[in-house]
Amino acid sequence: MDIVFKKIRYIVLPRRDKLIYLENKDIVIENGNITCISEECNVPRGAEKINSKNYIVLPGFIDAHTHIGYMLFHGLFKDRVSHEFFNKIYQLENDVIDGNTVYRVSKVMCIYMLLNGFIGFINMYHYPLETINACRELGIFMGLGPGLGLKSNIDLIRFIKETREYRNIVPMFNVYRVWGEDIDSLKDFIELESEILVYKNIQIAMTRREVYLFKKKTGKWPIEFLYRNSIIDTNTIIAHINWVSNMEIGFLSEKQVKVAVIPSTTMYIGERGFTPIYEMMRKGIVVLIGSDGGLYGLSPLQHLIRDLVLLYKYSYGDNRLNIEELLTKYLTISYELLGLNNRVIDKNIPANFIVLSIDKIHSILATKNNLLDTLVNSQTTIDYVFIDGKLAVEPGNKHKLLKHIEPDLKWLNRFIEEKLMINNE
């Protein structure tokens, strides 16, 4: 079906190091491709015409760091100190999480991500093939794979071969817990990576305690160890860098490593550490934004951005963070990581964007100069989501999408009560 969005209030486009705001433009989508972005586009015969004077169009979001099964642990063990909290999660993952559970929670999470405007995600979790099987029919872009510390029915070589035919899948090798691996395993990882060129997705430390335990075990800080052993490079994403030295920031900059920041989890565990985003950006390090898969709650990107900005300012007393520059780089590089390259709202490419409206009060106050702040701090409704030229979410199908996962939600609710709540001590 061809669609024309008429007189869109604002279209937000990342271009170089800043966001561009187009006002009162039309967008035409024919056979899944954007064929016109202009003040007055011709309406193709038979196309659906949508009055868009109250709509804002943005590139579809990418969740740059998620553990798709963490939704199951939301609200559990919340009175534990942080390292005990995560140890309980790791124990339960080892004891009771299986492929069927991951398949069902993946179905639920992929629908919720779509409804929140995410067209893709980078996942670090057990049983990656089950996640692919659960979400592939939605067309959502996925970066994932097996790795150290993750349960899987497949190794990386077979995973690459079996997913080669899927155009929306980017294989990645994960290191779930650097601090939990023995040194020989990490060094074996170096040899593996030299043979197979894929993205490496590495989680540094969820808590301060884990950073110091790693230093005690190896004699080096985590990023220092990875650098000295030639593990990190431009194809590396590192997450949860909340305690890092200037020396290590220099290592990340030299190797052009991408850094994923997860503000909601940082606040949730309350460890009083946070990524030095401004210093990293000043040294050319790309900062990505992730959610950790609903551990803290299922949030749209604009709320994650709000949390990131507030937490950074509170942690560092610093107002220099350029959120437009951060967002531009995040959108551009996260698209590249998942193989979309330059497909960020432009003519003659598949549609990968979301259409949202702002609550009435903030909508009246919104101008081009304060639009980003308005989006971050207001209540928004996502009405349309396009993925790879296909209309994945529209006002008429939201109920159908939720109905589709109802049996899985009921099954997961029983699983939480019977397998997880019994351990919530």
Q: Is residue 377 part of a domain?
A: yes
Contact 55, 40 (CB under 8 A): no
Average pLDDT over the chain reads 91
Q: Answer yes or no: is 215 within a domain.
A: yes
Same domain, yes or no, for 35 and 119? no
For residues 423 and 117, give the distance between their C-alpha atoms in angstroms, rounded to a whole number. Answer: 34
Tell me, yes or no, whether 407 lies in a domain: no
pLDDT for 87-139, tens place per residue?
899 999 999 999 999 999 999 999 999 999 999 999 999 999 999 999 999 99
Report which residue type is found at 246. Answer: N
pLDDT of residue 276: 96
| C-alpha to C-alpha distance for 21 and 265, rounded to whole angstroms | 31
72 shares its domain with 109:
yes
Three-state secondary structure call for residue 384: strand
Task: Answer yes or no: do 157 and 54 share one domain.
Answer: no
Distances (CA, A) of 405 to 45, 109, 398, 400: 36, 10, 11, 9
CA nearest neighbour of 323 among 338, 314, 312, 335: 312
Structural domain includes residue 142: yes
296 has a pLDDT exceeding 90: no
Do 355 and 290 share a structural domain? no
Are residues 52 and 25 part of one domain? yes
Q: Comparing 380 with 6, which gets the higher pLDDT? A: 6
- Tokens representing 410? 């009921």
Evaluate if pTM is beyond 0.85.
Answer: yes
Q: What is the CATH number of the domain that holds 14?
A: 2.30.40.10
Same domain, 295 and 353: no
Which CATH number do you get for residue 312?
Answer: 3.20.20.140
Cβ–Cβ < 8 Å for 173, 146: yes
Q: Does residue 332 sit within a domain?
A: yes
Q: How many domains does the chain have?
A: 2
Residue with tokens 């939301």, as numbered in its chain: 74
- 424 occurs within a structural domain: no
Do 325 and 360 share a structural domain? no
75 and 45 belong to one structural domain: no
Q: Is 402 inside a domain boundary?
A: no
Q: Is 88 found in the same domain as 32? A: no
Q: Are residues 39 and 175 in the same domain?
A: no
Range of the domain at 214: 61-337
Q: Residue 60: count other Cβ atoms within 10 Å of its Cβ.
A: 28
- pLDDT for position 191: 67
| Calpha distance 302→99 (Å, rounded) | 32
- Which domain-ending residue is among 337, 364, 389? 337
Q: For residue 242, which of 254, 260, 228 has the smallest C-alpha distance?
A: 260
Q: Which two tokens stand for residue 141?
A: 């872009």
In the prediction, which pLDDT does 272 show? 80
Q: Which of 337, 366, 388 is the last residue of a domain?
A: 337
Regarding whether 265 and 119 lie in a shared domain, the answer is yes
**pLDDT of the residue at 179:** 80
Residue 417 lies in a domain: no
Each residue's pLDDT tens digit, 142-186: 999 998 899 998 888 899 999 998 989 999 999 998 887 777 777
- Given 286, 312, 337, which residue is the final one in a domain? 337
pLDDT tens, 330-381?
999 999 999 988 778 999 999 999 999 887 767 777 888 888 888 888 888 9
* 18 and 129 together in one domain: no
Which residues face 55 on adjacent strands?
357
257 pLDDT higher than 90 = yes
At residue 372, the pLDDT reads: 87
